[in-house]
DNA sequence: TGCCACAACTTGATCGTTCAAACTCACCCT
DNA sequence: AGGGTGAGTTTGAACGATCAAGTTGTGGCA
């Protein structure tokens, strides 16, 4: 393949190979329609000229760009962003396998959010969107549905059971395996630190922790609640440590909470892992730096599902029958090994 | 603007307004060529139909997509990624102001890196690239130059003074303002925790810290070196704390180091801010969570410069005379306020 | 030999936009 | 009145790909 600035067009390849444009096109898309020797000749020329079909021309013809939009949000909390980044990464890596690519955009004040989404579709910049950080009362799913703009969400669309274009982490399962892991490591009691009851994500995670106790006919361990803030988490962790005692463990609904538990434990001279087991949720950069065991989000599976879903919808398929819950794994580090 | 799935084309607008395609096109790009009443009529119809020019058609015509590629790297350390995310965000937000948008891609093993870059340009998926995490001996700048593919780098191209398509944070200035801030806060001595000598980024930052002392004819404070790892940072911070003593401060070359200092200080019962001043570098999520004062990267200025640079190069302009150093600011938090 | 079927390949038209060239017409000057 | 000027607008062509419809040629069979 030669390295030259001017890109080769299908016509140049056709001329060089002594065939027509269509034969070149067929060689790439429907090779079975081209006779052996011809196919080989065309392929050699394609290789020599470094020909790649123009995405712009293909988009114009097919009325499909292959691009999926993803909004990056500056206003998200540090914790949210800690998940957003690995997720864009997963999307970007998996997109080619779905014949697409990812276009990121930020919400600047100039665009009143939703019309910005519409503009991107109207101008054929993207075919569809992937939403993250969907929250209860999020106007985007409804609005996009109304505008007939395809989308798929990372995160359950909690208030709207009829909207099924989503994939999410099975939070209950995450806390289940976290709790089971801590018990298997020999920690005496497993407490839970999460958000105040009523948060759907939080309640879901707590359910997994509680379920393990029920399965084993064990009395429920101690629990505490805090808002998503290091100070609050550390403060709430204190009493919890008293209850589980040295040799116990705490499963947390987020890495921030796990960090708080670690700080509280360190303050009383307890070493994480040895004196107290700790497990976080998200396996974010925080957990990595602090060497905290954490529930690892199955971001690649989720990215694959969402991208596949969009591809199907763009191909005319009806919405899926239901959303998809994906089971997370566990990244084990020193905070849960004695 | 009506909300309908089918996008309006320029022809539909032209017909509805009783003018030709070209007049519609002119109304958007060269309004001065269109007579007042006609212009108004066309604009009204555009608004009514919600017309937006097709990016695909424009790209085909102009041989320019407006897309800038940015590689997201899974292999980067947690710290690197902590900067990457806010940077993609800045790029995504600023791109529209430069008539462009950002396409992210991951380096999957299927593509041998560099040819992946070339493929994206050949297939007209992107016009140019923005590079981050450029390191000494990075093959990309040279290779892209050779392939005549426009790029702009976030980070000096250290080994190659003849390559000028970059913008970087003025690290010396960052440590200068950090050191000055700590002294102004009344901390007695300001030490420095950085990477082992020889790292160009590290030496640059250290220079700013040293310069403040020289300016004020003060003896240089104590310093220590460590690798970019929390354990190493905490270990190196211990002796440094002994040297600056309670009431002193430490300016760090990264947030990870600052966190290490905080851990070491906490271990001896010193409260950050009150007993010891701490300042990090990057103002990353780590600093935010731990409430650490930190040097804040001017990511939006850098994004603007790089995007503008690419736009110029695509317009045929020669490479810039020199790279650009942008002065960072300071995000002041409790770790440097008594 | 004549006809059909089918494989292999080519040609024309189209996607939506913009540049360049052509056209129209009111206006001015001689 | 005739011709030139120029503002305002229209038309044709092109960007590069693919679908649909056309053409060519080979082989089989009656």
Q: Tell which residue, A289, A286, A279, has the closest CA to residue A329.
A: A279
Q: Which nucleotides of C are covered by protein (CB under 7 A)?
A: 7-12, 14-21
Angle at CA B251, nearest 5°, toward B246 and B254? 130
Nearest chain A residue to B51 by CA: give it: A122
- Cα–Cα distance for residue pair B294/B136, rounded to 1 Å: 26
Place of tokens 């519609």: B24
Check pLDDT > 90 for residue B158: no
Are B81 and A85 in contact (CB < 8 Å)?
Answer: yes
Beta-carbon contacts of residue B163 (< 8 Å; ≥ 6 apart): B141, B142, B145, B157, B319
From A186-190, A217-221, B130-134, B186-190, the region with the lowest mean pLDDT: B130-134
Of residues B115 and B282, more confidence is placed in B282
- Cα–Cα distance for residue pair B205/A241, rounded to 1 Å: 41
Per-domain boundaries in chain B: 10-53, 67-169+299-328, 171-297+331-336
> Residue B78's pLDDT band (boundaries 50, 70, 90)?
low
Contacts of A146 in chain B (CB under 8 A): 3
Which two tokens mark A223? 């629990």
Residue B8's pLDDT is what?
93
Whether B35 CB is under 7 Å from strand C = no
- Per CATH, the number for A67-169+299-327 is 3.40.50.2300
Check pLDDT > 70 for residue B179: yes
Check pLDDT > 70 for residue B111: no
Check pLDDT > 60 for residue B50: yes
Residue A76's pLDDT is what?
64
Phi–psi pair at A69, nearest 5 degrees: -85, 145
Phi–psi pair at A59, nearest 5 degrees: -65, -45
Place of tokens 């045929």: B316
* DSSP calls for B158-194: TT-TT---EEEE-HHHHHHHHHHHHHHTT-S-EEEEE
Are A104 and B88 in contact (CB < 8 Å)?
Answer: yes
Residue A110's pLDDT is what?
57
From A124-138, B3-17, B91-105, the region with the lowest mean pLDDT: B3-17
Residues B199/B227, Cβ–Cβ less than 8 Å = no
- What's the per-residue H, E or C state across A113-124? CHHHHHHHHHCC
- Cα–Cα distance for residue pair B269/A8, rounded to 1 Å: 68
* DSSP calls for B58-113: HHHHHT---EEEEEE-TTS-HHHHHHHHHHHHHHHHHGGGGT-EEEEEE--TTS-T
Which two tokens mark B157? 């191209």
Looking at the domain A171-297+331-336, which fold is it? Answer: Rossmann fold (3.40.50)
Q: What percent of chain B has pLDDT over 90?
A: 82
Are B289 and A89 in contact (CB < 8 Å)?
Answer: no
- Distance from the Cα of B191 to chain A's closest Cα (Å) equals 24
| C-alpha pair distances (Å), B267 with each of A200, A220, B237, B262 | 37, 34, 11, 8
Beta-carbon contacts of residue B162 (< 8 Å; ≥ 6 apart): none
- Per CATH, the number for B10-53 is 1.10.260
Residue B109's pLDDT is what?
60
| C-alpha pair distances (Å), A326 with each of A134, A330, B128 | 17, 13, 36
Residue B3's pLDDT is what?
40
Of residues A275 and B85, more confidence is placed in A275
Residues B90/B132, Cβ–Cβ less than 8 Å = no
| Dihedral over alpha carbons A25, A31, A33, A39 (to 10 degrees) | 80
Residues B223/B193, Cβ–Cβ less than 8 Å = yes
Q: What is the DSSP letter of B123?
A: T
- Cα–Cα distance for residue pair A293/A246, rounded to 1 Å: 18
For testing contact with chain B, the best of A56, A151, A292 (most B CBs within 10 A): A56
**Interatomic separation, CA of residue B36 and C1' of nucleotide C28, rounded (Å):** 23
**Interatomic separation, CA of residue B285 and C1' of nucleotide C30, rounded (Å):** 80
Q: What is the CA radius of gyration of chain A?
A: 25
Nearest chain A residue to B8 by CA: give it: A122
Of residues B142 and B194, more confidence is placed in B194
Task: Report A:234-293 residues touching B (Cβ under 8 A).
Answer: 256, 259, 266-267, 285-286, 288-291
The CATH class for the domain spanning B67-169+299-328 reads alpha beta
- Cα–Cα distance for residue pair B82/B76, rounded to 1 Å: 10
Residue B74's pLDDT is what?
74
Flag whether residue B337 sits within 8 Å of chain A, measured between CB atoms: no
Q: Tell which residue, B182, B142, B158, has the closest CA to residue B277.
A: B182
Q: Tell which residue, A120, A125, A5, has the closest CA to residue A56.
A: A125
> Residue B290's pLDDT band (boundaries 50, 70, 90)?
very high
Residue A83's pLDDT is what?
86
Query: What tens-digit pLDDT sequence spans chain A (338 residues)?
Result: 444 446 899 999 999 999 999 999 999 999 999 999 999 999 999 999 999 999 999 999 999 999 999 999 877 666 667 788 899 999 999 999 999 999 999 987 655 678 788 899 999 999 999 999 888 888 899 999 888 999 999 999 988 889 999 999 999 999 999 999 999 999 999 999 999 999 999 999 999 999 999 999 999 999 999 998 999 999 999 999 999 999 999 999 999 999 999 999 999 999 999 999 999 999 998 999 999 999 999 999 999 999 999 999 999 899 999 999 999 999 999 999 98
Residue A4's pLDDT is what?
45
Residues A127/A151, Cβ–Cβ less than 8 Å = no
- Distance from the Cα of B58 to chain A's closest Cα (Å) equals 8
Q: What is the DSSP letter of A292?
A: -
Q: What is the CA radius of gyration of chain B?
A: 25
Q: Tell which residue, B287, B286, B275, has the closest CA to residue B331.
A: B287
Q: Tell which residue, A143, A156, A142, A271, has the closest CA to residue A205.
A: A156
Mean pLDDT computed over B159-174: 94
Phi–psi pair at B295, nearest 5 degrees: -75, 125
- Cα–Cα distance for residue pair B287/A320, rounded to 1 Å: 42
Same fold, A67-169+299-327 and A171-297+331-336: yes
């Amino acid at each position: 393949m030669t390295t030259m600035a001017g890109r080769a067009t299908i016509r140049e390849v056709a001329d060089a190979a002594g065939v027509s444009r269509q034969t070149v096109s067929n060689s790439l898309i429907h090779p079975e329609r081209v006779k052996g020797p011809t196919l080989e000749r065309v392929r050699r020329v394609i290789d020599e000229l470094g020909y790649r079909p123009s995405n712009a021309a293909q988009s114009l013809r097919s009325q499909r760009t292959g691009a999926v939009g993803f909004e990056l949000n500056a206003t998200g909390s540090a914790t949210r962003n800690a998940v957003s980044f690995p997720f864009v990464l997963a999307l970007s890596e998996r997109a080619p396998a779905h014949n697409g690519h990812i276009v990121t955009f930020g919400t600047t004040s100039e665009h009143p959010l939703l019309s910005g989404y519409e503009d991107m579709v109207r101008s054929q910049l993207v075919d569809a969107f992937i939403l993250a950080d969907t929250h209860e009362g999020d106007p985007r799913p409804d609005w996009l549905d109304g505008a007939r703009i395809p989308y798929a969400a990372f995160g359950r669309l909690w208030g709207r059971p009829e909207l099924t274009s989503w994939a999410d982490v099975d939070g209950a399962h995450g806390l289940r395996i976290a709790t089971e892991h801590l018990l298997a490591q020999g920690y005496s009691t497993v407490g839970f630190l999460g958000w105040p009851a009523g948060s759907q994500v939080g309640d879901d995670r707590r359910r997994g922790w509680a379920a393990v106790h029920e399965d084993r006919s064990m009395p429920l361990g101690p629990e505490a609640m805090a808002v998503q803030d290091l100070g609050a988490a550390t403060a709430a962790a204190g009493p919890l440590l008293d209850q589980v005692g040295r040799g116990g463990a705490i499963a947390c609904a987020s890495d921030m909470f796990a960090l708080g538990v670690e700080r509280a434990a360190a303050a009383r001279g307890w070493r994480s892992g040895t004196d107290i087991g700790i497990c976080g949720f998200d396996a974010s950069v925080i957990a990595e730096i602090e060497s905290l065991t954490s529930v690892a989000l199955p971001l690649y599976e989720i990215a694959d599902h969402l991208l596949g879903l969009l591809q199907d919808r763009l191909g005319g398929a009806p919405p899926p029958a239901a959303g998809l819950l994906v089971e997370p794994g566990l990244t084990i580090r020193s905070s849960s090994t004695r």
